[in-house]
Amino acid sequence: MPAPHRPPPHELVDVAPRTTTRRTAVAALVGTTVLFGGGCTSGSGGNTDGARPPATPARKLVWEDDFDGPAGAAPDPSNWTPEHGGGGWGNGELQTYTDDIANLAVDGAGNLVITARALTTGAGTSWTSARITTFGKRTVTNGRVEVRAKVPRGQGIWPAAWTLGQNIQDVGWPACGEIDVVESIDDATEVLQTVHGRRADGERWYRTLTEPVSAPLSEDFHVYAADWTPDAVVFSVDGRTTGQVRRSDLGGDEKWPFDAAQYVLLNVAVGGRLPGYPDDTTPTTASMLVDRVSLYE
**Catalytic residue numbers, as ranges:** 178, 183
Measured at the CA of 158, the angle between CA 13 and CA 275, to 5 degrees, comes to 55
8 A C-beta contact, residue 281 and residue 154: yes
How many other CB atoms are there within 10 angstroms of residue 27's CB atom? Answer: 8
8 A C-beta contact, residue 32 and residue 243: yes
8 A C-beta contact, residue 203 and residue 216: no
8 A C-beta contact, residue 98 and residue 104: yes
Measured at the CA of 77, the angle between CA 76 and CA 78, to 5 degrees, comes to 90
How far is Cα 98 from Cα 86, in angstroms, rounded to an integer? 9
Sign of the torsion formed by the C-alpha atoms of 6, 98, 275 and 232: positive
Measured at the CA of 184, the angle between CA 283 and CA 64, to 5 degrees, comes to 105
Residues in the chain: 297
What Å distances lie between residue 187 and 65, 66, 148, 260, CA to CA? Answer: 28, 27, 19, 34
Which residues on neighbouring strands pair with residue 33, listed in sequence order?
none
3-class secondary structure, 205: strand
